[in-house]
Amino acid sequence: MHSQLDIYLKRIEVELRALPGEQRSSELAEMRQHLDSMIQAYRELGYTEADSVTYAIQQFGNSRQVGRKLVKATTTRRHFATGRKLCLTAWWLFIVSLAMPACTVFGGVMRGYACAVIVLFGSMPYSTFIGAVYYHAFGVANLWLLFYPLLTLRIVSRKARCVSTAVSALAAILVATLWTSSGWCIGFYTWIASYTLTAIGSAVIALDGVRSANKKRFAV
Amino acid sequence: MGRDLTRGDMPALVLAALATNPAHGYAIARSIEEKSGRAFHMKEGTLYPVLRTLEADGLISGEWEVQQSGPARKVYRITERGLSELASRRRDWDDYAAIMQALLGGKSDAQPA
């Protein structure tokens, strides 16, 4: 009946994809009722059906902003606090592990990076770029790609969080199992710790959504 | 006077709207609009993030309730914590208004040109 309204709510639903299914349905049902009441009020003022829907949607706000703000308000509060703390710790550890090679005292850690890069990305032309700049650049790129989005909760999609969890868990397993030298243990353990914490943190964030959905489902 | 509500205004206004009666989202929006004499404008979709934040903080609670006519609606109630938060915000606002009044002054304080 209100195809314009359905399209609008569908756009909001797309933005709410980070929320568990039941919570998403609840949010959409509540917003639909609000919009239906607004449409009814405009109808009573004498507007046509089409105009009433248009005005109600305009008054409700941009679908993308409505959805994003709702997800942000839902996810950045207590639900994600634990996961976020773990990711923050991982981020700090990674910063430390990046800063350490800069100190000549920990020169061995640089070689640790080299080995980790070789293990993880053997096909990369690392031999032609040996040197601090290359490894630091690689580390910074890694930091921004993996840790920063988790830390700031830029990854709101549950699928993206699961992929990120899997990638960081795989990285931790690879570094832990394929490492053959014990000579550079500071860098080694820092890498494992940062990847593992990221994996746990992102898993907590992902599972917390499921937990809150279950809590609702089993509530009497 | 016309003024767009900012994000910081909303939680206090929602708490004030719920202080007297439980209400659903649409009724809260109408209450704010009517009490302000239609001077405040807001995009009503922005109400829901505020409601979720207040719920997460334990200042309000929302429950789906079957209505006498029509489908079930989510009705929000202010909690004890919400009432004390509202009282605190009212005190803060009174202090702020008193300071602004003192700073801006009335007509009697204006210097002749």
- Per-domain residue ranges for chain B? 3-104
Write out the H or E segment, with its range, that includes residue B60. strand B60-65
The pLDDT of residue A143 is 57
- Is 90 exceeded by the pLDDT of residue A12? yes
Q: Which residues in chain A touch residue B29, judged by CB atoms under 8 angstroms apart?
A: 34
Q: How confident is the model at residue B57 (pLDDT cuts 50, 70, 90)?
A: confident
| Contact map slice: A 46-85 vs B, CB within 8 A | 59-62, 65-66, 69-70, 72-74, 77-78
CB atoms B45 and A72 under 8 Å: no
- Which tens digit of pLDDT belongs to each residue from A163-214? 666 666 666 566 555 555 444 444 555 566 666 666 666 666 555 554 444 4
The pLDDT of residue A178 is 54
DSSP sequence for A3-63: HHHHHHHHHHHHHGGGS-HHHHHHHHHHHHHHHHHHHHHHHHTT--HHHHHHHHHHHH--H
Higher pLDDT, A129 or B109: B109
Question: Hey, of B43, B60, B65, B73, which one would you mutate to test binding to chain A, going by the most A CBs within 10 A of its CB?
Answer: B43
- Cβ-Cβ contacts under 8 Å between A and B: the total is 64
- Which tens digit of pLDDT belongs to each residue from A70-99? 888 876 555 455 666 666 666 666 665 555
Structure ipTM: 0.83
Least CB-CB distance to A77: which of B45, B56, B73? Answer: B56
- Is 60 exceeded by the pLDDT of residue A28? yes
Q: Which residues in chain B touch residue A37, judged by CB atoms under 8 angstroms apart?
A: 26
Q: Which residues in chain B touch residue A31, judged by CB atoms under 8 angstroms apart?
A: 25, 45, 48
Range of weakest confidence among A161-165, B94-98, B108-112? B108-112
The pLDDT of residue A183 is 41
How far apart, in whole angstroms, are the C-alpha atoms of residue A41 and residue B26? 11
Cβ contacts of residue A157 below 8 Å, gap of 6+? A17, A18
CB atoms B29 and A27 under 8 Å: no
Least CB-CB distance to B45: which of A61, A72, A74? Answer: A61
Question: Mean pLDDT across chain A, nearest whole number?
Answer: 67
The pLDDT of residue A212 is 47
Architecture of the structural domain at B3-104? Orthogonal Bundle (1.10)
CB distance A95 to A148 below 8 Å? no
The pLDDT of residue A23 is 85
Q: How confident is the model at residue B61 (pLDDT cuts 50, 70, 90)?
A: very high
- Is 80 exceeded by the pLDDT of residue A67? yes
Q: How confident is the model at residue B68 (pLDDT cuts 50, 70, 90)?
A: confident
The pLDDT > 90 percentage for chain A reads: 23
Residues present in chain A in total: 220
Pairing of the two strands B3-4 and B40-41: parallel
If you average pLDDT over residues B98-111, what whole number do you get?
71
Q: Which residues in chain B touch residue A27, judged by CB atoms under 8 angstroms apart?
A: 48
Strongest mean pLDDT among A50-64, A92-106, A161-175, B96-110: A50-64
Whether chain B has a CB inside 8 Å of the CB on A156: the answer is: no
- Is 90 exceeded by the pLDDT of residue A5? yes
- Which tens digit of pLDDT belongs to each residue from A120-141? 555 544 444 444 444 555 555 5
